[in-house]
Structure 1
C-alpha cells in the first residue's frame, strides 16, 4: 500500500520550505504567504491527494477538528447548499462537519447537541435557532463556540449569518405594487422563528411605505415552512380576504402550497393572484408557473458561517483575548422575476 503523502512531500513538489507549505494550507496563516506561492502549494496538495493529519494536529492543539452542524430539516431544499458552503470552507481548513437533523424538535435537537459535544466537536454551526432558545443560552453560558445561520434568537448571544430578509421583502412588495397591486397579503412562517418575524415586520413596513393601509395588507401565518402548511394558510387567506390580488409568501415551500390551494379553487396564477416566494430554492424556476422569488445566497451563508466559526476558534486560542460582541452578517439578496407575477387582471 502506498504511503500517505506528507507536508514534506507537498513542500518538495511546490518547491518551498515545509513551514511555508504548512502556513499556506492553514486558513489562519495563509495570508502570510505570497498569493502565487500559496496557490502553488494548494495545487501540489491537490495533485498528491494530501489531507492534514488530524490525529497529530489534535494532539498538538487539543482540538478535534470537527464541527457540529445542526439543521432543522434536511429535506428542505434550502439547506443542502448551506451545508455545501460550510463543508467547502471547513474542508479547506482541515475540519470535518458532522451533520445532525433535528426535525424542528427541541428534544431531538438537545439529544443531537449533547451527542456532538460528547464527540468533542470544537464548535457548532446552528440552523435551528428559535426566537426563544434555552439550549443556545446554555451553550453561551458554557462557553461553547456557536455560529447561527439563517435564523437567530431574540437575545443576540452568538454570531449570526443571514440573507437580508427585510430588504428581500421590500423588493417583493415594491415589485408587486409597481405592477399595480393594491391589496397584498403575506403568508408568514411560524411565529417562533426570527425569519418569520423579520419578514412579517418588513412586509408591514413596505406596505406602509407604499401608502397602503393595514386593511389592504392582511397577514396569515403558516404553522411550518412547508408546502402543506402553506396550502392550509392560503385557504384560510382566501376565505377571509377574497379581494387579495397578490401574495408575498414566507418562503418558496409556502408559496408552493399557495399554488396548490389556488389550483384546488380553480384560480389562476398570476391571472387571479400574483405570487412571490422567498429563497429561490432549487426547482423554483420549474414551478407552474415559474416562481418569482427572492434569491438568498445559501452557499455563501454556509461559507461565511464556517469562516466566522473558525475565526472565533482562533480568537479563543488567545488567553488574553477580550470578549467581543457577537457579529451579525447580512448578505445581499435580489429579486428574481418569473411568470408568477403580473399586473392585476393580466392573463
Structure 2
C-alpha cells in the first residue's frame, strides 16, 4: 500500500471482519450496532493504518453530508461559546460536524452565509440569530430545511427551539429585589425584536404589577443591543429620567456591565446606592466589581439540547416540533443589597396599587 491511502477494505481485512461491519463501527451513528470489543478492534486498526473515512462519498450515498450550519450573532459575546461547545459535543457523538458562522447581527451577511451553507449541502441549521420576525427562516422552513433555534425563538410556528425560562428567571430577579426592600426598580431591556428582550420585559412588567408596584414608563429603557456600551447609554437615559431608582434588572450581563460603569461614572455606588441584577451568568460575572448577582442560564446544556432536537428532526422530519424550556436560577452575589434609606417613592414617581 506504499503511497496509497488505506481503504475501508484494508481496515476490515486487518481485523478479519466484513467491510459493512467495519463501516458501521467507524460511523458514530451506527457504532452501537457492532459488538463493543469488535468495534474497539476496528477503530484501533483504523488508527494504526491511518484510515480516514470518506465523508463525501458517504454523503453521496445517503444524501447526507453530516454537516450542520450553526449561526451565531456575535462570537465576542461570552454567552455563545458554551452554547457552541454543547452543540459540538452532541454532534460529535453522532458523527456530525458543526460549520460555525458569525453574522454580526447583519441580515444581509446572515442571508449570504446561510445560502453558502445550503450550497455546501448542510443537513440542517441551528440558529442563535433568530428574530421574532425572520423572513430568512420563514423561507427556509417553507423549503423543508431542518431548523432549530437556540436561546431565542421566532413568532413563526413550526420551528423547534431550546430556550431558558426567561420569565421565571426575571421573576426571581424582581422577587429578590423586592425582598430586599426595593420598590424603585428599573429595567434595562434587551432589543424587543428578539424573543429574549420581549419575554424578559413582559415578565418584568408583570412581576412589578403582581408586587403592587406601578413604576413610571421611563423606568423601562430599551437598549439598542446586548452590549456594554448600549447598557451604559441606556443607564444614562434612565438616571436622567428616574434619578430615584434604587435597583436595576438588566436584560443581560453585558448590559449590566454597562450599568455598573455608568453608575460609577455618576458617583453612585453599587450596591450601596443602586443594586444591579444581570441575566445569563456569563463567564467572569463573578469577577465584576462588585461580583454580579445574575440569573444563571445553562448554556452548555442549551447547546446540547439544540443539537439533539436537530438530530431528531433529521431522523423524523414529520414529527411535531417541540420547544425545550430549561430552568433559570438566580445567583446572588455582591451587586445587590437592601434598599438604601432616603429615597422616597415619589422620587421616581412610583405609585403602589
- TM-score, with structure 1 as normaliser: 0.87
Alignment of 1:147-166 (within 5 A): 147-166=148-167
Quote the Cα distance in structure 2 between the aligned partners of 1:292 and 1:302. 24
Residue equivalent to 2:299: 298
Quote the Cα distance in structure 1 between the aligned partners of 2:188 and 2:34. 51
Residue equivalent to 1:78: 79
- Corresponding pairs, count: 338
Instruction: After TM superposition, give the deviation of residue 214 of structure 1 in Å.
Output: 3.6
Structure 2 regions of 5+ residues with no counterpart? 342-353
Quote the Cα distance in structure 2 between the aligned partners of 1:7 and 1:227. 57
Structure 1 regions of 5+ residues with no counterpart? 317-322
Question: Is the 8 Å Cα contact of residues 248 and 276 (structure 1) preserved in structure 2?
Answer: yes
Alignment of 1:276-291 (within 5 A): 276-291=277-292
> Quick check: 1:272 aligned with 2:267?
no
Question: Is the 8 Å Cα contact of residues 190 and 223 (structure 1) preserved in structure 2?
Answer: yes
Instruction: After TM superposition, give the deviation of residue 20 of structure 1 in Å.
Output: 7.2
Instruction: After TM superposition, give the deviation of residue 304 of structure 1 in Å.
Output: 0.8
| Pair 341,200 (structure 1): closer, same or farther in 2 beyond 3 Å | same
Quote the Cα distance in structure 2 between the aligned partners of 1:279 and 1:85. 16
Instruction: After TM superposition, give the deviation of residue 88 of structure 1 in Å.
Output: 1.1
Among candidates 312, 324, 336, match of residue 329 of structure 1: 324
Residue equivalent to 2:201: 200
| Pair 28,65 (structure 1): closer, same or farther in 2 beyond 3 Å | closer
| Pair 47,262 (structure 1): closer, same or farther in 2 beyond 3 Å | farther
Instruction: After TM superposition, give the deviation of residue 283 of structure 1 in Å.
Output: 1.0
Alignment of 1:168-183 (within 5 A): 168-183=169-184
Question: Is the 8 Å Cα contact of residues 11 and 46 (structure 2) preserved in structure 1?
Answer: no
Question: Is the 8 Å Cα contact of residues 10 and 41 (structure 1) preserved in structure 2?
Answer: no
C-alpha RMSD of the superposition:
3.0
> Quick check: 1:184 aligned with 2:185?
yes
Question: Is the 8 Å Cα contact of residues 218 and 242 (structure 2) preserved in structure 1?
Answer: no
- TM-score, with structure 2 as normaliser: 0.86
Question: Is the 8 Å Cα contact of residues 8 and 23 (structure 2) preserved in structure 1?
Answer: no
SS in 1 for 2:192: coil
Instruction: After TM superposition, give the deviation of residue 237 of structure 1 in Å.
Output: 0.7
SS in 1 for 2:213: coil
Question: Is the 8 Å Cα contact of residues 169 and 203 (structure 1) preserved in structure 2?
Answer: yes
Question: Is the 8 Å Cα contact of residues 226 and 254 (structure 1) preserved in structure 2?
Answer: yes
Question: Is the 8 Å Cα contact of residues 292 and 337 (structure 1) preserved in structure 2?
Answer: yes
SS in 2 for 1:131: coil
Quote the Cα distance in structure 2 between the aligned partners of 1:7 and 1:209. 69
Residue equivalent to 1:112: 113
| Pair 122,236 (structure 1): closer, same or farther in 2 beyond 3 Å | same
Residue equivalent to 1:101: 102
Instruction: After TM superposition, give the deviation of residue 31 of structure 1 in Å.
Output: 6.9
| Pair 141,11 (structure 1): closer, same or farther in 2 beyond 3 Å | farther
Quote the Cα distance in structure 1 between the aligned partners of 2:315 and 2:45. 23
| Pair 216,140 (structure 1): closer, same or farther in 2 beyond 3 Å | closer
Alignment of 1:46-57 (within 5 A): 52-57=53-58
Residue equivalent to 2:333: 338
